């Protein structure tokens, strides 16, 4: 066969087609060498590709990024720990030094509630005092009137409102040489210290749990001489009869209570504070039958205390402003003179004083 030129062959190399078909098993590389083809160099993918990562010198940072800070002045990012690298725990507490949770008390070791007292055997409330037997702390005030509601043991009350009437017990008195002037609560008895007194039906107090005498008084007398041993020099509440056994008043400017006691021997309890300064003062005495305890009060506060026998047969009164045989008369004002068949508490005495001009409610 006549030969012809094949495109791509070198400088018109002539191929003899009569030679027949070539061996198809020949590799492309061998074939290229035979036909003189230029091949691209082979790349070994097993070897890493090295590229120049050097920052180009002519790289320009946009203005909006430049305002966020010069990258050249930022800390070297290379100093930031790799997220995958372990953090140095030298500055952290040693886990080994942390208290062992195992040291926490075992819940199972908590004291058994069975060791607590059985509620069923708690002290019986029945052993507490009956509230009904506890004395009232103080009598309640009458909110509508502003006055003090009297306690139940008040049995005689001479308020001196232009008369000698008994506001509670009905034993009205007979006034002798008495005038009525402004006192602490409304009017008061004005007693002249010589012939004045208010006579009432004799009332025995001995059969009661005790007694209380209280009143508002005003005097300037310094009298300390008694005409009878059983009387204070200025007797406010007394007994004019031969059976006299107790009396209450002012002696030498101080509050005094006299009692003949169980044996009939006169003794007294005398206060320490002066009440003869020409001002109105509230004075009181309580005498408890069971114990003989005597307490004197001035202006709602305890002034003195003592102990005198209490005679259940003869303790009584029948005079306001005088004593035995109407002697040792009171010189000054006496207002709201009150007699009780029991020893009042300190709070009850204080409440009467604090009621002031409102006084006790009628």
What the block records as the tokens of 280 is 């109105």
Tell me the CB-side half-sphere exposure of residue 306, using CA atoms within 13 A. 19
Query: What SS3 string covers 89-112?
Result: CCCCCCHHHCCCHHHCCCHHHCCC
End-to-end CA distance of the chain: 164
Mean pLDDT value across residues 334-339: 98
pLDDT of residue 118 exceeding 90, the answer is no
What the block records as the tokens of 327 is 């002697």
pLDDT of residue 61: 52
pLDDT tens per residue, range 234-246: 999 999 999 999 9
More confident call, 4 vs 353: 353
Residue 224's beta-bridge partner residues?
none
Q: Residue 236 in contact with residue 336, Cβ under 8 Å?
A: no
Q: Residue 350 in contact with residue 214, Cβ under 8 Å?
A: no
Q: DSSP assignment, residue 321?
A: S
Q: Whole-angstrom Cα distance, residue 315 to residue 341?
A: 11
pLDDT of residue 140: 61
Q: 3-class SS at 303?
A: strand
pLDDT of residue 53 exceeding 80, the answer is no
Q: Whole-angstrom Cα distance, residue 333 to residue 322?
A: 13
Q: Whole-angstrom Cα distance, residue 48 to residue 61?
A: 31
Give residue 312's pLDDT band: very low, low, confident or very high (50, 70, 90): confident
What the block records as the tokens of 58 is 């002519």
Residue 259's beta-bridge partner residues?
246, 267
Q: 3-class SS at 184?
A: coil
Q: Whole-angstrom Cα distance, residue 219 to residue 333?
A: 7
pLDDT of residue 58: 56
Mean pLDDT value across residues 53-78: 49
| Domains recognised in the chain with CATH numbers | 154-356 (2.60.120.200)
Q: Does the model's pTM come out above 0.85?
A: no
- Mean pLDDT, all residues of the chain: 77
Q: Whole-angstrom Cα distance, residue 70 to residue 306?
A: 100
With CA atoms as reference, report the closest residue to 247 among 234, 257, 255.
257
Give residue 263's pLDDT band: very low, low, confident or very high (50, 70, 90): confident
With CA atoms as reference, report the closest residue to 183 among 322, 297, 282, 299.
282
Helices (H), the chain: 28-35, 63-66, 346-355
């Amino acid at each position: 066969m006549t030969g012809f030129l094949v495109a791509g062959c070198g400088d018109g190399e002539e191929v003899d087609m009569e030679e027949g078909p070539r061996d198809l098993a020949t590799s492309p590389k061998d074939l290229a060498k035979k036909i003189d083809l230029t091949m691209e160099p082979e790349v070994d993918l097993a070897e890493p590709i090295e590229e120049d990562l050097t920052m180009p010198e002519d790289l320009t940072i946009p203005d909006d990024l430049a305002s966020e800070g010069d990258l050249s002045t930022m800390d070297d990012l290379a100093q930031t720990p790799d997220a995958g690298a372990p953090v140095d725990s030298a500055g952290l507490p040693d886990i080994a030094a942390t208290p062992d949770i195992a040291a926490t008390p075992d819940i199972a070791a908590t004291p058994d509630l069975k060791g607590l007292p059985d509620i069923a055997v708690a002290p019986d409330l029945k052993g507490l005092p009956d509230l009904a037997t506890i004395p009232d702390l103080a009598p309640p005030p009458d909110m509508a009137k502003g006055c003090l509601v009297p306690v139940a043991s008040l049995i005689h009350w001479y308020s001196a409102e232009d008369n000698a009437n008994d506001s509670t017990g009905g034993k009205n008195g007979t006034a002798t040489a008495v005038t009525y002037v402004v006192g602490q609560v409304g009017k008061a008895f004005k007693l002249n210290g010589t012939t004045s007194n208010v006579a009432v039906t004799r009332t025995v107090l001995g059969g009661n749990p005790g007694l209380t005498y209280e009143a508002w008084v005003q005097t300037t007398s310094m009298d300390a001489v008694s005409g009878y041993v059983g009387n204070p020099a200025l007797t406010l509440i007394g007994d004019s009869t031969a059976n006299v056994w107790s009396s209450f008043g002012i002696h030498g400017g101080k509050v005094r209570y006299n009692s003949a006691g169980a044996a009939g021997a006169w003794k007294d309890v005398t206060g320490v504070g002066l009440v003869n300064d020409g001002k109105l003062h509230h004075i009181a005495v309580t005498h408890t039958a069971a114990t003989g305890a005597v307490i004197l009060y001035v202006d709602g506060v305890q002034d003195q205390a003592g102990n005198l026998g209490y005679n259940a047969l003869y303790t009584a009164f029948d005079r306001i402003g005088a004593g035995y045989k109407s002697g040792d008369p009171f010189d000054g004002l006496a207002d709201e003179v009150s007699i009780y068949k029991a020893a009042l508490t300190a709070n009850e005495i204080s409440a009467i004083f604090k009621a002031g001009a409102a006084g006790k409610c009628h």
